[in-house]
Each structure stands twice: as structure tokens, then as C-alpha cells.
Amino acid sequence: MARVTDKPSGVFRSLDWWTILIYMSLLIFGWLSVCGASYTYGDTDIFSLSTRSGMQIIWIASSIFLGFVLLMLDDRYYDMFAYIIYAVMLLLLFATIFNPHEIKGSRSWLVLGPLRLQPAEFAKFATALAVGKYMGRYGFNIHKWKDFAYALGIVLLPMLFIVAQKETGSALVYLSFFLMFYREGMPGSVLFTGVAMIIYFVVGIKYEDVQLWGLPVSLGKFIVILLLQLFSTSMVYLYCKDKKQSQLLTLISLGTTFIALLFAKFVVPFDIVWVQLVVSFALIGFLLYSWLASQYKSYLYIALFALGSLAFFYSADYVLNNVMKPHQRVRITVLLGLEKDISGVGYNVHQSEIAIGAGGLKGKGFLNGTQTKLKFVPEQDTDFIFCTVGEEEGFIGSAGVLLLFLALILRLLKMAERQPFAFGRIYGYCVASIFLFHVFINVGMVLGLTPVIGIPLPFFSYGGSSLWGFTILLFIFLRIDAACNLVHT
């Protein structure tokens, strides 16, 4: 019955027009921002194809046409050809690794005459389709490690290819898929482990050279190992349901550390981190013993968490100083406040903060931003375009843009929840997660709150690849949702 009414007129009646309205609003505000960011005093025609603002009109028009075409296709095609689309994108990503055209140190672009395309931008929707098809199949169970490992592999494979293209920022976007995994039943412990690793890295690196209480003890190491112990003993209570054992282990860990600290301060100064390590390994040994004695796997998982935490923490410093490239390492140290580097990698962030601050409450007005017009902010019409919004439209305009993005993400979540099939719901959550990651990281790096990893702001940053990629990502879901509404009518 649904397919009888599945005609263009039926599709358009069933579309989520609120989402379309938000999309068009973001395109308009995005174009105005590109105009402001790329405008040079003395330009007489912002619509000329020789200007960035003029070319952006072409990208916007082609994106709208592309969205129309996607809406005209049968929604079953996206499920039917998901693996084929994914395989084609993997081939493009792999081929791009060996691309002789290196642009700004990255091999992520395919140059086809005057046209430059970035396959990584299109791989997002292809990955979302593939993982949605796999996880939506009959019998899939995310609690089975084999099923979860295959789904994880679908996400991580393009991520590895993108890293090989020297595009770490674009690769990190794929971490957003873990929000979808969590919605689909991934244990919260997995998500917590990821958050814990970030805490270990930030705290350990930031306070590594700070001494504790005047002792030869690294404050960073002390805090991280103490957190590791507290996390592990708390998990005994949460997952093993043994409150007394959890309290006893916590008391032993804290008590031993406190006694060692007092001894080092008032008797013989020494590095009490060694005592903490002994306690940590004793805790791991006890957890393994409890697992063997009771055959309760939660003890094993907690022991592996503690052991993995130690391994991760002590490898973090090595990775920072020996694996990361100099420019990546400086970005991390600047973000953590270990270096200022106003004239180097911190210059972009410093100038963008000045531009946003100069906008005040109401902004300086369209095309009146001095920081952007005088080109103080590098990449101000791509990665740092939000600083143009802040300078020209002020706090009010910036808040309005963020509210539009919030409305889009909330709308996508609502649409995802009403999908009758797992494929549509999973794809919808992938779309919402990708948008959320891009907005959070891009705006955060412009404000100096997140690392500068070079990812675009959806529908705002100049360029065709990102605009097409986000449009495809969104309109495929709009078509799937329209089909869902047709079924119910």
C-alpha cells in the first residue's frame, strides 16, 4: 500500500519540512558568513564567480539540486546498495592515500582538473549507511562481541584510511559513531572507559611536571593513578554488587596512599607513585583472583580496565613526544595551557578570540568586521568561519546560529526515534552524532576550548565537498523518514 502512494507528491507531503527550513536557514547564514570572511575592502561584486562568495552560491545551488535528486530516489536503494556505496568509498579513500597532489600537507584531496573533491567528506554517509545496514539485520546483538566487533570494524576502517591521508581531524569525526553505539545498547562501561582515557591523558600531561607537596612526586601521575584506583573500586560496587568489598578496597587504596604520603613528607622523601603502582597491581591481582574464584566475569573486566588504564597512561607521554608530529604535539600543549605560542599554532585561536570578542553583543554588522576584513585570522572562511559570525553578528547572532544547530540536532533525534526499522533509526543517530561532533569541535576550537583539528562547520565553511557531504548525509535521512511517514499514512 505504501508503495502505491510513494510518488514524488507523496514524498514531498511526508517530508519533515521543519528540518528543510532549518537547513535552508543555515545555508543562508552560511553564505552571509562566507561573504563576510572572504570580502576584501574595495570589492564591488560579491556575486562574481571570481570571488569565494560567488562560488559558494554555485555550491549551495548544486547542493539543493543534489538534495532534490536524493529525495526522488526510492528509499529502498539506500538500504539495498549500502555495502556497495561503502566499498566504493573505501576504494576512493585508499586511492587518495597515494594521491600525488598534496594540499597543505594533506593527501585527502582528489584533483580532477579544476575540481577538487575530498572523499573523506562523503565517506561519512557511506559508513553510516553500511553500519546501519549491518546493525539493522535480523539477529544482530550488540552484546555479542563478534557482532559489535564487525560493526566497529565498519567504522574504524575508513578512519584508518583517512589517518593515512594525514587528515587526523577528519578521522576523529568517526568517534561520533560511539554515541550511536551507546544508543543501540553498547555497555555504558565502554563509553566510560573512553572518557576515563581522555581524563588520564589531559590530567597526566598537564600536571606531569608539577610537584606534589614539594616532594619528588609528579602531581599528574599521582592524580591519575589515584583516579584509576577509585574508578576500579567503584566498579566493584556497580557491576559486582558488593558494597562492602568496594568500601574495603577503597579504604585500603586511600589509606596506603595517605600513609605513604605522610612518610615521604615527614620522614624520608621519595616518589610515592611507586607505592601507588604496587597497590594498583595488588588490586588487579585481587580482582583476577576473585574472577577465578567466583567465575564472575565482571571482576575480569574491571581488572582489564585497571591494567589497560595503566598501559594507556604510561604510553600517553611516549605517544605525545615520539609519535605525534611536531604541529600536532604543539596543538595539544597549547590547548592544555602548557605553551602560549601566540605567534605559532596558537595564533589562529588567539586571533579568532579577538575577533569574537570585538563583536560584542550585537556585532559590527555585515561586512564590517575589521579582524576578518584585514585577514588576521587564517582559514577564516573555512575552519575558523565562526569567528566571522561572532565579529559581525555578535553574541546575539552567534547564539542564534548555535540555536539553529541545536534545533537541527534535536529534530534529527526525534526523527530517528520514530523510525519503525532499525536501519533508519541507526542511520538517523549517525547523522545526528556527526553533526553534533562537527559543531561542538569546530566552535570549541574557535573559542580555544578544543584542539585545532581542522574540521568544517556544517553548511558554513566554504567549499563544495563538505557542503555536498553534509547535504547527502541529511537528505538521505529525510528520504528514509518520508518513507516512514508514508507507511503510516
Q: For residues 477 and 56, what is the distance between their CA atoms, to the nearest angstrom? A: 24
For residue 416, being part of any structural domain is answered with yes
DSSP 112: E
Q: Phi/psi of residue 450, each to 5°? A: -130, 160
Query: What radius of gyration do the chain's Cα atoms show?
Result: 26
| CB of 180 closer than 8 Å to CB of 426 | yes
Q: Which of 4-13, 27-36, 320-329 has the lowest mean pLDDT?
A: 4-13
Question: Which among 286, 308, 324 is the end of a domain?
Answer: 324
Q: Are 484 and 419 in contact (CB under 8 A)?
A: yes
Nearest to 225 by CA among 195, 203, 193: 203
Whether 302 and 347 share a structural domain: no
* CB distance 49 to 78 below 8 Å: no
CA–CA gap between residue 249 and residue 233 (Å, rounded): 6
Q: Would you state the pLDDT for residue 429? A: 97
Q: Mutual orientation of helices 52-72 and 464-488 as an angle, nearest 10°? A: 30
Cell readout for 90 is 573505501
Residues 6+ apart with CB under 8 A from 220: 203, 204, 205, 206, 207, 208, 209, 210
Q: What is the mean pLDDT of residues 257-274?
A: 94
Cell numbers for 46, please give them. 560579491
Same domain as 140, residue 44 = yes
The residue that leads in pLDDT, 450 or 69, is 69
pLDDT surpasses 90 at 79: yes
The single residue listed with the C-alpha cell 604496587 is: 278
Residue 3: predicted pLDDT: 47
Residue whose C-alpha cell is 568586521 = 369
**Contact indicator for 75, 483 with CB cutoff of 8 Å:** yes
Q: What is the pLDDT of residue 209?
A: 80
Whether residue 475 sits in one domain with residue 344: yes
In this prediction, residues 274-281 reach a mean pLDDT of 96
Under 8 Å CB-to-CB from 31, ≥6 apart: which residues? Answer: 53, 56, 57, 60
Report, as an integer, the average pLDDT of 345-356.
74
| Structural domains in the chain (count) | 2
Residues 173 and 38 in one domain: yes
Contact in structure between 39 and 373 (CB atoms under 8 Å): yes
Between 50 and 77, the more confident residue is 77
Q: Are residues 47 and 139 in the same domain?
A: yes
**Same-domain status, 318 and 334:** no
d(CA 489, CA 481): 13
Of 437 and 452, which is predicted with more confidence? 437
Using the predicted structure, report yes or no on whether residue 142 has a pLDDT greater than 80: yes
Instruction: Identify the domain containing residue 257 by its residue range.
Output: 208-324
Question: Do 350 and 429 have their domain in common?
Answer: yes
Distance (Å, whole) CA 277 – CA 310 = 9
Do residues 183 and 219 share a domain? no
Within-domain flag for 164: yes
Evaluate whether residue 387 is within a structural domain.
Answer: yes
Choose the weakest-confidence range: 55-59, 129-133, 484-488.
484-488
More confident residue, 104 or 27: 27
- Whole-angstrom distance, CA of residue 403 vs CA of residue 415: 18
Is residue 184 within 8 Å of residue 426, measured between CB atoms? yes
Task: Provide the 10 A C-beta neighbour count for residue 313.
Answer: 22
Of 120-124, 273-277, 323-327, 425-429, give the lowest mean pLDDT range. Answer: 323-327
C-alpha cell at 7: 510518488
> Angle at which helices 145-164 and 82-97 pack, to 10 degrees?
40
pLDDT of res. 485: 72
Look over the chain and give the mean of its residue pLDDT values, rounded to a whole number: 87
Is 196 within the bounds of a domain?
Answer: no
Q: Among 487, 473, 453, 446, which Cα is nearest to 33's? A: 446
Residue 127: partners with Cβ closer than 8 Å, 6 or more residues away:
86, 89, 154, 155, 158, 174, 177, 430
> Does a structural domain hold residue 1?
no
pLDDT at 434 over 90: yes
Is residue 2 domain-resident? no
The predicted pLDDT at position 383 comes to 85
Where does the pLDDT of residue 5 fall: very low under 50, low under 70, confident under 90, or very high at 90 and above? very low
Rounded Cα–Cα distance for residues 487 and 123 (Å): 29
Domain boundary among 324, 355, 372: 324
**Do 32 and 148 fall into the same domain?**
yes
Q: With cut-offs at 50, 70 and 90, classify the pLDDT of residue 488.
A: low
Please name the amino acid found at residue 272. I
In a domain? residue 158: yes
Burial of 149 (0-12, 13-18, 19+ CB in 10 A): exposed
> Which of these three, 281, 297, 324, is where a domain ends?
324
* 120 has a pLDDT exceeding 70: yes
pLDDT band at 58 (very low <50, low <70, confident <90, very high): very high
Cβ(170)–Cβ(455) below 8 Å? yes
The pLDDT assigned to 107 comes to 66
Angle between helices 219-240 and 297-318 (to 10 degrees): 160
pLDDT above 90: residue 192: no
Give strand pairing partners of 25: none
Is 275 found in the same domain as 174? Answer: no
State whether 305 and 245 are in the same domain. Answer: yes
Q: Residue 376 pLDDT > 70, yes or no?
A: no
375: pLDDT strictly greater than 90 = no
Whether 92 is in a domain gets the answer yes
Q: Is the pLDDT confidence value at 77 over 60?
A: yes
Cα atoms in the Cβ-side hemisphere of radius 13 Å centred on 38:
26
What letter represents residue 110's amino acid? L
Residues 313 and 348 in one domain: no
